[in-house]
Amino acid sequence: MTTGTEETPRSATFRLVLLVLLVVLLLASAGVLAWLLTERRGEADDAQAERDAVMSQTRQFVLRLNTYGPEQLDNQKHLPDYRDQVLEVITPKFAADFEKSGLPIAEQTVAQAGYGRSAEVFGVGVESIDADSATAIVAAGLTGSYPDPKHPDDRSKRVAADQDVLRWEVDLVKTDGHWLVDDYAPVTGEGSQ
């Protein structure tokens, strides 16, 4: 008959080794889990930072494209500050179109009619985004104004029109690490009202 005294030291040693091994595995698992969570959080933070940059640039584009007035005209009846502000947030390809059609129309309506416009962005959302392109949807209100005909000698007196609400789909591309607007179009279809 055995009393178990010979087995006890081996059994106690085995249990101690097993306990140490389990503690090491538990600590390693906790370390890997913490690393994975940190890595995922970093990726999520990077993705959110890109979305924020797209939304910010879209907001700036809408505000800059749609805010101008007679106070910005120079002696040659041009809007140089307006032009420069818009060019800062658009691609060179889009800039060529803007300078050929959009800018001359704005300058003409401001110079001839004293027209002014201001914009208010209601909201911006990112519809899609990848490493070098994005599409944003923006809702904004545009308010036009003209010189008050009751005060023809005081160009600071203005009459504002009712606000027009717009929804645009804005395409952006990443150029040299910065998001720039490449095109935009009104949102149309059954869902828009």
What secondary structure, in 3-state letters, does 66-123 show?
A: CCECHHHCCCCCCCHHHHHHHHCCECHHHHHHHHHHHHHHHHHHHHHHCCEEEEEEEE
> Cα 92 to the chain's mean position, in Å?
19
CB-based burial label for 123 (10 Å; 0-12, 13-18, 19+): exposed
Residue 124: CB atoms within 10 Å: 21
Those residues whose C-beta lies under 8 Å from the C-beta of residue 107, and which sit 6 or more positions away, are 73, 77, 78, 79
What domains does the chain contain, in order, with CATH numbers? Answer: 10-66+114-186 (3.10.450)
- Which residue, 104, 127, 107, 125, is CA-closest to 117? 107
Tokens of 184: 């935009």
Q: Report the Cα 41 to chain-centroid distance in Å.
A: 20
Check residue 69 and give its pLDDT: 93
Query: By the 8 A CB rule, do 74 and 80 touch?
Result: yes
State residue 87's pLDDT score. 96
The one-digit pLDDT tens for each residue of the chain (193 residues) are 555 555 566 788 888 888 888 888 888 888 888 877 777 666 667 888 899 999 999 999 999 999 999 999 999 999 999 999 999 999 999 999 999 999 999 999 999 988 999 999 999 999 999 989 999 999 999 999 988 888 777 767 888 888 899 999 999 999 989 999 999 999 875 544 4
pLDDT at 44: 62
Asked if 129 and 123 count as a contact pair (C-beta separation under 8 A), the reply is no
